[in-house]
Amino acid sequence: MVGPLTGGYTIKTQVLGARRADTRSVWIATIAIPLLLLAPAFWNGYPLLQWDTGGYLARWYEGYLVPSRSTVFGIYLHLGEQASFWLNLGIQSLATLWILQLVLRVLDLARPVRLVAISLALIATTALPWLSSMLLTDIFAGLSVLALFVLVLHGARISALEKAALFVFTAFSAATHSATLAVLLGLCCVGWIARPWLRRQIPLAGLAQGSLTIVAGAVMLLAANFSLSGQLAWTPGGYGVPFGRMLQDGIVAQYLRDHCANEKLKLCPYRDQLPPTADDFLWGNSMFNALGRFQGLNDEMGFIVLHSLAAYPAWQAEAALAATADQLMHVATGEGTNGWIPHTYGIIERYIPAQLAPMRKAKQQQWQVDFTTINRFHVPVALASMLLVALLFGRGLWRRKRDDLTLLAGTVTLALLGNAVVCGVISGPHDRYGARMAWVATFVVLIAAARAFTGDDEVDDLLAP
């Protein structure tokens, strides 16, 4: 027969044993997850590089502003040069672990075993480890959406120090890329619009703090631009990016055919020779080079972009809708991460020659990185996750549920749509833009699965404070 004292001793032993097991799980998660997030870089033997990496690296050394290359991210990369950029990858993997566990914690799913299980699923099925292993802004796009969600909607459930860290992280993320800033700004605008109907779910203080991260990110970018270039100016986006998308849609060629008889434009002699894609025009061996690239053609591209919007409004609207839909379908992992990235190689050779030897030994530079097999799995997972998270949001709206899972699904659905509009309409659809956000949808689906199939067990009740 077990007496009251014996029974109490047994329960206390179980609690202590469970606490020790949880402590071990925490340490395992803290060490293993960041290492697994960097598995692609370890396998490669060097941080993964991309077409655009060189443009960011050069900002510290060249001292002038170029279109779409954030000086904030350039400074961030420069800080990791002496450590062969492994410092940057360490920051990215630890930030990923931090944000993932923070979201799970505010949703009351913070058991280490769940964090490990969900993290392993993301590592195995999404672009997340490839993004965290790469010297590019893309890892901060999805993480910043989750950070903004926690800061705005669940600020009361985290400490003052965590709130301050989230604020700085979100502001930094916004400053790394104009598209990320635009998506975060859009989410904040939706928050202000929805707040009259969701006063209890969207605290005024949280929404104000979230909105201020956009301001802080803008100030951060302006300060970095001034410190490196002496110009108190925004990073130039130029008209090249939207011009390229309109060229790809055939709008530029039509404008030139319709107006070259009355307007003297540098591109008029080439109106029947324009390349088929924006990438061919901007980065290939096209007439863009002969006409002075951005410096020589930016004013003319701006003129054509603005006047073609007025000349063909219906065509522009149709093209924008098509580009948005197309961008939602472009989610493959690894675009621009192969052996042919001459500009990035050239920047490293010119400014960071000490990195040449380890870079050249990497598998990527030996043309051993191939995403064909990976994307046979990643693409359907990403597309299915995006559909499921939209359905989760729609189901919540239909049932008039305003719980935290519905709000998270709504935040991510709107972020995916905003990302598709910003990137698809302005830049034209690219897999890179979709892959950097699609993994967040998979994360939400995994959270929903944990909610549906994993209830609180006895140990959870015992460990509750």
CB 114 within 8 A of CB 105: no
One-letter amino acid at 337 equals T
Mind listing the pLDDT tens digit for each residue in 325-373? 999 999 999 999 998 899 999 999 999 999 999 999 999 999 999 999 9
Neighbours of 410 (CB within 10 A): 23
Average pLDDT of the chain, as a whole number: 91
Mean pLDDT of the region 44-71: 94
Mind listing the pLDDT tens digit for each residue in 74-108? 999 999 999 999 999 999 999 999 999 999 999 99
Query: 30 has which bridge partners?
Result: none
As a three-state string, the secondary structure of 285-308 is: CCHHHHCCHHHHHHHHHHHHHHHH
The CA distances from residue 397 to 383, 400, 410, 456, in Å, are 21, 5, 9, 26
Q: Where residue 229 falls among pLDDT bands split at 50, 70, 90? A: very high
pLDDT of residue 283: 79
Q: What is the DSSP letter of 365?
A: G
- Please provide the DSSP assignment of 111-125 as one string: -HHHHHHHHHHHHHH
Within 312-361, where are the H helices?
Answer: 313-329, 342-351, 356-361
Q: Where residue 462 falls among pLDDT bands split at 50, 70, 90? A: very low
pLDDT of residue 4: 54
Mind listing the pLDDT tens digit for each residue in 371-423? 999 999 999 999 999 999 999 999 988 888 889 999 999 999 999 999 999 99
Coil, helix or strand at residue 79: coil
pLDDT(279) > 90: no
Task: Using CB atoms within 10 Å of the CB of residue 417, give its burial: 0 to 12 exposed, 13 to 18 middle, 19+ buried.
Answer: middle
- Please provide the DSSP assignment of 154-220 as one string: SGGGS-HHHHHHHHHHHHHHHHH-HHHHHHHHHHHHHHHHHGGG-TTTS-HHHHHHHHHHHHHHHHH
- 14-23, 132-141, 178-187: range with lowest mean pLDDT: 14-23
Distance CA 419, CA 411 (A): 12
Location of structure tokens 């064909």: 372
Mind listing the pLDDT tens digit for each residue in 431-453? 999 999 999 999 999 999 999 88
Top-ranked range on mean pLDDT: pick from 30-34, 63-67, 177-181, 233-237: 177-181
Distance CA 288, CA 411 (A): 40
